[in-house]
Chain A
Amino acid sequence: MARIVVITSGKGGVGKTTTSAAMATGLALEGHKTAVIDFDVGLRNLDLIMGCERRVVYDFVNVINGDASLRQALIKDKRTENLFILPASQTRDKDALTEEGVGQVLDELSQEFDYILCDSPAGIERGALMAAYFADEAVVVTNPEVSSVRDSDRMLGILASKTRKAEQGEGPLPSRLLLTRYAPERVDKGEMLSVEDVVEILSIEMLGVVPESQSVLNASNAGMPVILDKESDAGQAYSDAVARFLGEERPHRFLTAQKKGILGRLFKG
């Protein structure tokens, strides 16, 4: 049986899809057979970040409606073994995601895969609820600013009450936090919430802190999950997060501002 993980946030633009792509790739690199599903029906993005947009034939909604089989719709990643992508439909809306249909697709995937990552759309409407409903655990992606933290808090409340686990009385969904776009220099200047502030407000375990980094944008533009950029700080931070996700203990890195030398200042490195 696969473990179903929802990557969610409430707020848009905080890095859910980047995180889904990075974590799915990281899990596959560790030898776990992993599927990542784009729940953002109507606004397809995951295939772009994963660099497989030119190979999309069928999508998630086609499978739900029975127009295509899972085997036909799943796209095998070219770079990473064990990794498959189920893209979102761009021509439908989120009403196409029925509880029954989503449940069936996840059941079928569960037979074959170790991990299923559900890349949630922003908001707290149907698409986000469906992405979270069948999950065994959640990774909540948050930026260190007040509105993102508040939306994540709202989402955590929903995860605690509106998932299948909660409805079956198994308590709130186990959830961990991934803080992205973290800029220690700005925290030092008081322009951004610190890791401690966010953890205190959300009272939730920290899975990882990903620094604000040009490498994330470069990777997205290149259609390559940033975790594959092993030189970059963001890539390393995602590798750490995946290791922690799999139970390894690793210290958090990239939490303090790097002192720049005179050359660094000159070249704005």
Chain B
Amino acid sequence: MTARSHLSAGFLALFFVLLVIAVVGGFGFKTWLPPVASEHGAVVDKVIRYTLLTTGLVFVVGHLILAFFIVKYSRDERGTAKRLSPGVEARWALSVAFGMSIIAEVGVLVIGMPAWAAVYGEPSPDDVVVEVVAQQFGWFIRYPGKDGKFGACRPELIRRGDNPLGLDKKDPASADDIIVEDELRLPVNKPARIVLRSLDVLHSFSVPEMRVKQDIIPGYTGRTRFVPNREGTYEIACAELCGLGHYKMRGLLQVMAPQDLQRWLSEQVPAITYIVD
């Protein structure tokens, strides 16, 4: 009975040591994050690395102590069952709690806050403004055109074939709006302000490489802001369950040189061209 109990305790301690090795190896020695491609994304990664380091340390120390106690105190059948005074116990508890809260709040406030502010802070007039409208199960991308203004959209004008966003032809701001599907093009190294709308249910605009994720609420105009700093093509995913095609709601984000974007924009036909009266 006792021998078997020792054996089990030993196995469990060994399991915890192996767990430590596996977790440290798994999280510490391999980069799982897709390579970052935005300015604030670097800060997000810094928060993640900081958290990995600190929680990793606590995890390792905690589990090694756990394993050690299991081995050590399962051997001594007689034992002392010594107890500390409640005051000493409380002091232990409070010092650990204090240390942990410092670790946690540093992550939130000192490192994390600047990135949060960059995404949600005040918009600047230099921002490139693009509207992304989500619908089951795709994305519409709207550029305001030369006037820099989005034309009015009315849901009662929506027609799938020729006017998917319900663009109002009567609004002069609509005249040069460009609408494309599923492909967002942004200039590199310029702050992009994405205006987010949904036609039907909840969606979420997620570009993992940009470290951007923002739910889109029907009835609201939301926004997110980031500075893509690496040219290339990235995938846009929907991150909020939106129906049976949720997993298929894939869009593309192309980050390109500003002059390439200008050229592409100049080739596009304004959306009102296609609208049948």
Answer yes or no: are A and B bound together in one complex.
no
Q: Which residue numbers of B lie inside 8 Å of A, CB to CB?
A: none
**A residues touching B (Cβ–Cβ < 8 Å)?**
none
